[in-house]
Amino acid sequence: MDKYIESVYESLVQKDPLQKTFHQAALEVLETLEPAIKKFPQYKEHKILERIVEPERIVQFRVPWKDRNGEIQINRGYRIQYNSAIGPYKGGFRLHPTVDLGVMKFLGFEQTLKNSLTTLPMGGAKGGSDFDPKGKNDSEVENFCHSFIMEMYRHIGQFTDVPAGDIGVGGREIGYMYAAYRKITNEHGSCVLTGKGWGWGGSLIRPQATGYGATYFAEEMLKTKKDAFKGKKVAISGSGNVAQYAVEKCMQLGAKAVTVSDSDGTVYMPDGMTKAQWDYMMDLKNVKRGRISDLAAKFKLEFAKGGKPWEYKVDIAMPCATQNELDGKDAQKLIDGGVKAVSEGANMPTTPEGVTAFQKAGVLFAPGKASNAGGVATSGLEMAQNSQRLFWSAEEVDQKLHGIMVNIHQNAYETAKLFGQPGNYVLGANIAGFLKVANAMVAQGYLA
Ligand code: NDP
């Protein structure tokens, strides 16, 4: 690695030695920026790397709430406002027990480059809490969301910072949070949160957007090899928002989604998930909030307890659950099974060893910041509709989403070629996302 880039990386490790997930995300980006830093010396002169790895603002606070027994519980809340050079901060809230400052920084940093790739004017942010929604009833989740917004409301706003959902935050939680925001501020219609429900400011296709977008990206990668989705076997991990709609889009494109999973294990469906199974999963996960093993029991399917979706012979892999869920060994199994393309629906689901293995084996590999950008892009479209006080049809939003994904693919593909590494979507996406933010920071001077 270039000495200057290495020094930036070492300094961030030294400052926050325990933030391992953030180090991993930062290193993955910094390593690939070398050709851009060499080509454009002004970035070094303006200390863009030193500035871009440091969040503009970190908010951390306590979230007290009462459980079903009337007992007070305390969680930790966060908002990392990473970079606003190209637009208001934008990024989801995550509710999961693994949330800490390092995880929030990793996600906020990724979000900055991802939002830049969408071509929409959105800066990068991330937030959430170590609250675990699993096993909580509706009232407990509602109590928590209200308390969370009691502090969060003062840090967000349609021109400041516009949060959305992520792991553990879907339509239900956005609803509870939006109600609290409205009550406190006495404002409605200002787009302070995206992922709202249809009928109270939400955009059609926003729930589908991340899963659909990751599938569109995989389709674009296959096209570069004159290949298509139809008839392909696809391993999908997770059974939450992103996984659900990746499965649906695979079915629509004539592919077979052969796995879904949760943190308990993996369901295997050799002939591909059917519409009846998908409907059952949607109800199971979004209404009953049950475990994916119920799907296997209901339809007499194979369930690998503790197993991952990467054990099976497939053409395409779409990790859609969480970070570092696909390691070097998993990648090797997929390569041995003949995998042709990997499109990340989750954020950083593949470990660095996994990424290297795929790239060495010539597997088409799409990093999440490019392939899962459809979610935030459609949040951007929700903001645009809210500003106009108008709603677009599902077809119109889906068409725009598709166009954005085709553009992101093209941009990452062409940038990789331009910087001498054709087919390297990791390098292409990182450099393309970085250049726009870096140029805005240079133009705005040292304060940006
Ligand atoms: P959900 O909460 O809807 O679903 C998450 C899924 O992943 C669940 O099936 C969950 O299973 C599983 N999962 C979570 N942690 C683990 C783990 N440690 N091991 C195995 N499975 C796990 O979240 P989303 O679908 O919204 O998000 C999934 C990923 O996509 C995340 O990385 C998120 O950052 C990313 N993403 C989401 C976007 C969005 O629009 N929602 C946009 C862009 C990226 P269980 O219930 O057992 O925990």
Ligand 1, atom 23, lies closest to the CA of: 167
Distance between CA atoms of 412 and 62, rounded to whole angstroms? 40
Structure token digits, residue 382: 């929700």
Mean pLDDT of all residues in 431-443: 98
Domain 209-362 has CATH 3.40.50.720: yes
pLDDT tens per residue across span 296-307: 999 999 999 999
pLDDT tens per residue across span 317-353: 999 999 999 999 999 999 999 999 999 999 999 999 9
Ligand 1, atom 15, lies closest to the CA of: 322
Q: Do domains 3-190 and 209-362 have the same CATH topology?
A: yes
pLDDT tens per residue across span 347-363: 999 999 999 999 999 99
Q: Which residues contact 223 (CB under 8 A, 6 or more apart)?
A: none
Query: Given pLDDT bands bounded at 50, 70 and 90, which one contains residue 188?
Result: confident
Task: Quote the ligand 1 centre to 14 CA distance (angstroms).
Answer: 30
Main-chain phi, psi angles of 350, to 5 degrees: -100, 130
Using the predicted structure, report yes or no on whether residue 250 has a pLDDT greater than 80. Answer: yes
- Residue 424's pLDDT is 98
- The string of DSSP letters for 169-234 reads BSHHHHHHHHHHHHHHH---SS---SSPPTTTTPPTTHHHHHHHHHHHHHHHHHHTTT--STT-EE
Task: Quote the ligand 1 centre to 79 CA distance (angstroms).
Answer: 19
Best of 103, 107, 166, 286 for a ligand 1 pocket test (most atoms within 8 Å of beta carbon): 166
**Residue among 377, 383, 422 nearest 403 (CA):** 377
**CA end-to-end distance (rounded Å), the chain:** 27
Provide the residue ranges of all domains of the chain, joining segments of one domain with +.
3-190, 209-362
Residue for token pair 């054990």: 311
Distance from the Cα of residue 250 to its chain's centroid: 19
pLDDT tens per residue across span 118-159: 999 999 999 999 999 999 999 999 999 999 999 999 999 999
Residue for token pair 């009953």: 288
Mean pLDDT of all residues in 35-62: 97
Using the predicted structure, report yes or no on whether residue 219 has a pLDDT greater than 80. Answer: yes
Task: Quote the ligand 1 centre to 8 CA distance (angstroms).
Answer: 31
Task: Quote the ligand 1 centre to 47 CA distance (angstroms).
Answer: 35
- Domain spanning 3-190: CATH superfamily: Leucine Dehydrogenase, chain A, domain 1 (3.40.50.10860)
Task: Quote the ligand 1 centre to 96 CA distance (angstroms).
Answer: 10
pLDDT tens per residue across span 51-100: 999 999 999 999 999 999 999 999 999 999 999 999 999 999 999 999 99
- The string of DSSP letters for 398-446 reads HHHHHHHHHHHHHHHHHHHHHTT-TT-HHHHHHHHHHHHHHHHHHHH-T
Residue for token pair 């502090």: 151
**Which stretch of DSSP H or E encloses residue 11?**
helix 3-15
Ligand 1, atom 41, lies closest to the CA of: 166
Distance between CA atoms of 443 and 327, rounded to whole angstroms? 40
Residue for token pair 């459609």: 378
Cβ proximity of 370 and 117 under 8 Å = yes
Question: 364: helix, coil or strand?
Answer: strand
- Ligand 1-lining residues (CB < 6 angstroms): 165-168, 170, 210, 238-243, 262-263, 320-322, 325, 345-347, 372, 375
Ligand 1, atom 3, lies closest to the CA of: 240
Using the predicted structure, report yes or no on whether residue 190 has a pLDDT greater than 80. Answer: no
Bridge partners of 303, per DSSP, are 267
Whether the full predicted model's pTM is greater than 0.95, yes or no, is: yes
C-alpha distance from residue 147 to each of 126, 216, 378 (Å): 18, 38, 28
Percent of the chain predicted with pLDDT > 90 = 99
Cβ proximity of 389 and 199 under 8 Å = no
Task: Quote the ligand 1 centre to 265 CA distance (angstroms).
Answer: 14
Task: Write down the catalytic residue from 90, 105, 114, 126.
Answer: 126
How would you label 284-296 residue by residue, b for 16+ Cβ within 10 Å and e otherwise? Answer: bbeeeeebbbbbb
Distance between CA atoms of 44 and 381, rounded to whole angstroms? 34
Most distant pair of Cα atoms in the chain: their distance: 62
Residue for token pair 């090899």: 225
Query: Given pLDDT bands bounded at 50, 70 and 90, which one contains residue 1?
Result: confident
Percent of the chain predicted with pLDDT > 70 = 100
Mean pLDDT in the chain?
97
Please state whether 307 falls in left (phi above 0), alpha (psi between -120 and 50) or beta: beta
Distance between CA atoms of 415 and 417, rounded to whole angstroms? 5
Mean pLDDT of all residues in 43-58: 98
Query: Given pLDDT bands bounded at 50, 70 and 90, which one contains residue 189?
Result: low
- Residue 409's pLDDT is 98
Question: For residue 321, which atom of ligand 1 is closest to its CA?
Answer: 7
Distance between CA atoms of 198 and 150, rounded to whole angstroms? 24
Ligand 1, atom 39, lies closest to the CA of: 166
Residue for token pair 């059952």: 280
Question: For residue 323, which atom of ligand 1 is closest to its CA?
Answer: 32
Residue 275 appears among annotated catalytic residues:
no
Rg (CA), the chain: 21
Ligand 1, atom 7, lies closest to the CA of: 321
Q: Which residues contact 274 (CB under 8 A, 6 or more apart)?
A: none
Residue 330 identity (one-letter amino acid):
D
